[in-house]
Structure 1
Amino acid sequence: VPLARALFEGGLPVIEVTMRTAAAAAAVAAIRRELAQVVVGAGTLLRAADVATAVQAGAGFLVSPGLTPELAAAALAAELPYLPGVATPSEVMAARALGICVMKFFPAEALGGAAWLRALAPVFPGVAFCPTGGIDETRAAEYLTLANVPMVGGSWMVPRDAVAAGDWRRIRRLAERAAAIGRREAA
C-alpha cells in the first residue's frame, strides 16, 4: 500500500499489480480497501483462474500479456475493462473480433516500439494501445505523441532499490515526472 500511495500522490491514479506472486491478490485487495481513489488493476493474467482471483481481489481492470480463447472468455465475462497483450496484426484482428478496442502492446520495445504502432494506426482505426515492456521515461513521451496511444505502462518510476529501501519520496518524485509526461503530451 505505501508504494501505491506514493504513485497516487505523485499523480498516477491508475496502478497495475502484476499477479506474479502469492501476495499479489492481497495487495490488490489492500490497495482497494485503503486507497479507494486509486484504480487498481491486475496484470500478467495467464489463465481463467487468474481472472477469477483478480476479480475476487477487487481489480478494476484486467491485463494479460497475450490472448487465448479461454482467458479472453473469462476476462470478458468479468465485465471489467480488459487489455489483452498483442504483438502482431493477426492478434489485433483476433482481439477486434471479440469486440476489444484497447489492447496492451507487449513487449513494446523488443517488437519495434513506436514505429510498429505508427504503422498500425491507419490499418486499425479506432484501436488504442497501451505499450509496455522496456519503456523508460524518454520512450514514454514518444509513445504518447501517437494518436493510437492514450496511455503507457512501465515500471521506471518504481526502481527496485527504492522499493527495497522504502524510499516512497523518490518514487513519488518519479511518479510526478511520469504524470507530467502524460499531461504535456495531452496538451
Structure 2
Amino acid sequence: MLDKIDRVIAAAPVIPVVTVRGAEDAVPLARALAAGGLPAVEVTLRTPGALAALEAIAKNVPEAIAGAGTVLSTGQAKAAADAGAAFLVSPGATDDLIAGIRAVDIPWLPGAATASEVMRLREAGFFRQKFFPAEQAGGAAMLKGWGAPLPDIVFCPTGGITAANAQDYLSLPNVGCVGGSWVAPAKLIAEKDWAAIEKLAKAAAALRR
C-alpha cells in the first residue's frame, strides 16, 4: 500500500483540493488540472454531489488520479471506494477510521497536527501523512523540526498553502507534495474558466521539490 500512496504523492508537487457540486463541473475541472500537469485531485466530501463528481472523474478522465478528501468515517471511505476513489485523505484519524480504511484497502493520507499524532499513526503503519492544518499548526518550520526525530515520515501539508508559500514546504526533505485549493478557486470553477485553471495548474506543476 505504501508504494500506491507514493505514486499519488509523486505524481506532481501539488494535489489540488477541490470542492464541486457535481459531475458537470468535475470532469472539465479534472481535465484542466491534468492538462496543466496536476493529475492527482482531491475531491472533498463537503457537498451532496461530491461522490457523483468523484465517480465522474474516475470514469471519464483516465489521465486523472481521483481521490476523496475530508473522509471522516468508515461509511464515507466505503462510499468513496465504491465511487472509484484511487486514494483517500482525512483531516485527522481515529481508531474506528483506521480500522475502516484498512478494511476498504485504499491508499490513505491520514491527518496529523502534533508530534504525538504523527507517532501514533507511525505505530499504526502509516508513514505518509497529511499535515493539517499546516499553516495554523506551525507551518514549514514545524515540519523542519520533525525532520530529524521522525525521518521516515513523508508529509503532504495542506491548509493555508498558497502559490506564495508552497515552495517553502516543498524544499523540505520530508515533504513529498502539498495540497491546496489555490489552483482551482471557487470563483473560476463557478465561471467555468477551465483555461485559467489549467494555467494555474501549469505554474503549480513547475514548483521544485
TM range (shorter): over 0.9
Query: What's the counterpart of residue 158 of structure 1?
Result: 184
Once residues 29 and 61 of structure 2 are traced to their aligned partners in structure 1, the CA distance between those partners, rounded to angstroms, is 11
Unaligned runs of 5+ in 2: 1-26
Once residues 21 and 71 of structure 1 are traced to their aligned partners in structure 2, the CA distance between those partners, rounded to angstroms, is 20
Query: What's the counterpart of residue 169 of structure 2?
Result: 143
Once residues 116 and 87 of structure 2 are traced to their aligned partners in structure 1, the CA distance between those partners, rounded to angstroms, is 24
Q: CA deviation at 1:76?
A: 1.9
What TM-score, normalized to structure 2?
Answer: 0.86
Q: How does 1:34-53 map to 2 (within 5 A)?
A: 34-53=60-79
Once residues 179 and 76 of structure 1 are traced to their aligned partners in structure 2, the CA distance between those partners, rounded to angstroms, is 31
What TM-score, normalized to structure 1?
Answer: 0.96
Q: CA deviation at 1:37?
A: 2.0
Q: What is the identity, as a one-letter code, of the residue corresponding to 1:60?
A: A
CA contact (8 A) 1:76 1:82 kept: no
Aligned length: 183
Report the identity percentage: 50
Once residues 35 and 86 of structure 2 are traced to their aligned partners in structure 1, the CA distance between those partners, rounded to angstroms, is 19
Aligned with residue 72 of structure 1, among 98, 122, 129: 98
Structure number with greater CO (CA < 8 Å, separation at least 6) is 2
CA RMSD, aligned part only?
0.8
Once residues 3 and 37 of structure 1 are traced to their aligned partners in structure 2, the CA distance between those partners, rounded to angstroms, is 12
CA contact (8 A) 1:32 1:38 kept: yes
Instruction: Say if 2:42 is the partner of 1:13.
Output: no
Aligned with residue 89 of structure 2, among 63, 67, 70: 63
Runs ≥4 in structure 1, deviation > 4 angstroms? none
Q: CA deviation at 1:77?
A: 2.0
Between Structure 1 and Structure 2, the one with more helix by share is 1
Query: What's the counterpart of residue 156 of structure 2?
Result: 130
